[in-house]
Amino acid sequence: MARRKPILAITSGEPAGIGPELVAMLAERHAEQPFAARLVLFGDFAMLARRAARIGLSPRYVEYDPTNLEPANQGVEIWNQSCAAAVTPGQLDPANAHSVMTMLQHATDGCATGAFDALVTGPVQKSVLMDAGIPFIGHTEFLAERTHAPRVVMLLVGGIDSAPLRVALATTHIPLKDVAGALTRTSLAQILLVVARELQAKFSIASPRIAVCGLNPHAGEGGHLGREEIEVIAPAIADVRDAGFAGVSGPLSADTLFVPDHVRHYDAVVAMYHDQGLPVLKATSFGRSINVTLGLPFPRTSVDHGTALDLAYDPAGAATADAGSLIAAVELAIDLAARR
């Protein structure tokens, strides 16, 4: 009996941003070169159709039917999630914030219950969610809370000179002044263990080689520029090596670690804070890199960019957005789902 194709839940993100255009481009790509998966979009059916037409596309959208286990067509299915208010491209409206959250909740819950094999998320606008009174820090934190995952890790996947570059974060969306206080030996060891185990399970890397950044310049300069490397990071690395992952190295100075000839010797880098690792990855891979959440009970990938309200606003309705990151996120989600 042939194995069924994985079913992906794909959220269209902030309706005023480029998400609706990106999923239209994805659907057109699916019609021309079908993905090895069943794609189910979450969003307002009528709005998604209008936004596709606005940029001159006519994707084959069909209504999602959860009882039809093997749809014969190559169309992209939509699980309708109605917006509360009319959408104007490029103009945020807090009235639609709860619609965005409901869409994300339904897609997450569907993955958690096994109705879908993986989650791909479009970009959301955190500011408008918070303006509407929703305490949304980011997808990573939301997914951890919604699935009751004990420890999740944000991983960005890109490349340098055709070599893979994977950057995981020890802390995510917190102010820089709070980073040192958020790092503890126990929490960092847990994060490193998640990264090591997920590299094995999700990326089929039997003996992961992981480089761990220091927090301070020059990895603390032997304690002269800070003691976090000595008192927190090095002990956490020792704990993980004692747990059987001998390929974990550090703490290393971030300013030289990312030199291509150096970083290519590692399967992943763990940066201590958001803007320590991601600027390097986005400088080399923006528009092609993928956000992956490690530690969830299902695969989750996402685009590497935001809502690009300026592109969505374009009065000419030109298809100026680039769906490369979304296509890459879908392809990786399919691969990760197949490895489960």
The per-residue pLDDT for range 250-292, each reduced to its tens digit, is 999 999 999 999 999 999 999 999 999 999 988 888 878 899 9
Put simply, whether the predicted model's pTM sits higher than 0.85 gets the answer: yes
pLDDT for residue 161: 67
Can you tell me the distance from the alpha carbon of 252 to that of 249, in angstroms, rounded to the nearest whole number? 8
pLDDT for residue 321: 79
Are 44 and 121 in the same domain? yes
Can you tell me the distance from the alpha carbon of 332 to that of 297, in angstroms, rounded to the nearest whole number? 16
pLDDT for residue 52: 95
Are 141 and 157 in the same domain? no
CATH number at residue 186: 3.40.718.10
Tell me, yes or no, whether 1 lies in a domain. no
Can you tell me the distance from the alpha carbon of 52 to that of 333, in angstroms, rounded to the nearest whole number? 24
Beta strand 210-213 with 153-160 is unpaired
Tell me, yes or no, whether 2 lies in a domain. no
Are 239 and 316 in the same domain? no
Can you tell me the distance from the alpha carbon of 77 to that of 67, in angstroms, rounded to the nearest whole number? 13
Number of domains in the chain: 2
Extract the tokens encoding 114: 């096994």
pLDDT for residue 3: 62
Peptide bond connecting 123 to the previous residue in cis, omega within 30 degrees of 0: no
Extract the tokens encoding 143: 């997914």
pLDDT for residue 89: 94
Could you tell me which residues are beta bridge partners of residue 38? 7
Q: In what order do the strands lie in the sheet with 38-43?
A: 61-63, 76-80, 38-43, 7-11, 118-121, 300-302, 290-294, 153-160, 163-169, 268-271, 210-213, 248-252
Are 240 and 330 in the same domain? no
- Using CA of residue 106, residue 108, residue 110, residue 112, what is the dihedral sign? negative
Are 61 and 170 in the same domain? no
pLDDT for residue 200: 96
Tell me, yes or no, whether 91 lies in a domain. yes
pLDDT under 70: residue ranges of the chain: 1-3, 71-74, 161-162, 316-319
Extract the tokens encoding 310: 């300026």
Are 39 and 172 in the same domain? no
Domain containing 68 equals 7-149+298-339
Tell me, yes or no, whether 287 lies in a domain. no
